[in-house]
């Protein structure tokens, strides 16, 4: 049985789940007066593992941790669609003394300029550097951009993370009036 409570909490505004009526619980304008309470049954070992995980991630409660897991699962489902709205972050490690790596990296960033929201360059010890690039667009495009960036010759280590803003009731606002006509990598994601 599901009970509605008229308490206003931060958790209501942050949840990314949808009700069976299609109302986003992430939109505080729609549901900021309700928290849906439900009961779940877990085996003792699974409950102990959940409690350990709650402590390790410094979560304020089991409910907060379970909301996190639900959002994560919903994001993974949505991210299977290459046309879904996405944000991403690419981390690239390289040595700035490697021949042409900066020129190649700049060229790759220009290929994906419409998707790059932010980038920063940090000097590490010696000649090592890390570049962090924040991307937005359709999931397929964000993934293709991140793959292209980390594939630049001279990048010694690179990885990326992609998220679905819709699971928290947000969007990137990113759209394309047209695709590039020059056959640039932005077309390859399709």
Lookup: tokens for 13: 């505004």
Q: pLDDT-derived band of residue 138, with 50, 70 and 90 as boundaries?
A: very high
In this structure, the number of other CB atoms found within 10 A of the CB of residue 72 comes to 13
Q: Which domains does the chain have, with CATH numbers?
A: 3-78 (no CATH), 85-187 (3.30.70.1150)
Which residues are CB-contacts of 115 (< 8 A; sequence separation ≥ 6)? 135, 136, 137, 141, 142, 145, 174, 186
As a whole number of angstroms, the distance between CA 50 and CA 72 comes to: 15
Per-residue pLDDT tens over the stretch 95-137 = 989 889 999 999 999 999 899 999 999 999 989 999 999 999 9
Contact 85, 141 (CB under 8 A): no
Output the pTM of the full model.
0.64
What's the residue count for the chain? Answer: 190
CA distance 60 to 142: 32
Could you tell me if 16 and 68 are in contact, meaning their C-beta atoms sit under 8 angstroms apart? Answer: no
- pLDDT bracket for residue 79 (50, 70, 90): confident
Per-residue pLDDT at 21 exceeds 70:
no
């Amino acid at each position: 049985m599901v009970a509605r409570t008229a308490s206003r909490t931060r958790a209501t505004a942050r949840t990314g789940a949808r009700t069976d009526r299609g109302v986003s619980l992430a939109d505080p304008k729609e549901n900021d007066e309700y928290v849906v309470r439900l009961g779940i049954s877990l085996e003792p070992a699974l409950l102990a593992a959940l409690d350990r995980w709650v402590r390790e991630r410094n979560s304020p409660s089991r409910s907060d941790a379970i909301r996190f897991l639900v959002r994560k699962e919903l994001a993974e489902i949505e991210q299977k669609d290459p046309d879904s709205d996405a944000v991403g972050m690419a981390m690239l490690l390289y040595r700035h003394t490697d021949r042409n790596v900066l020129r190649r990296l700049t060229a790759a960033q220009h290929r994906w300029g419409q998707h790059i929201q932010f980038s920063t360059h940090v000097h590490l010890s010696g000649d090592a550097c890390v570049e962090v690039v924040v991307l937005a667009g359709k999931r397929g495009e964000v993934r293709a951009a991140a793959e292209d960036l980390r594939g630049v010759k001279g990048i010694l280590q690179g990885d990326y993370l992609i998220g679905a803003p819709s699971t928290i009731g947000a969007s990137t606002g990113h759209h394309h009036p047209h695709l590039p006509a020059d056959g640039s990598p932005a077309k390859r994601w399709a």
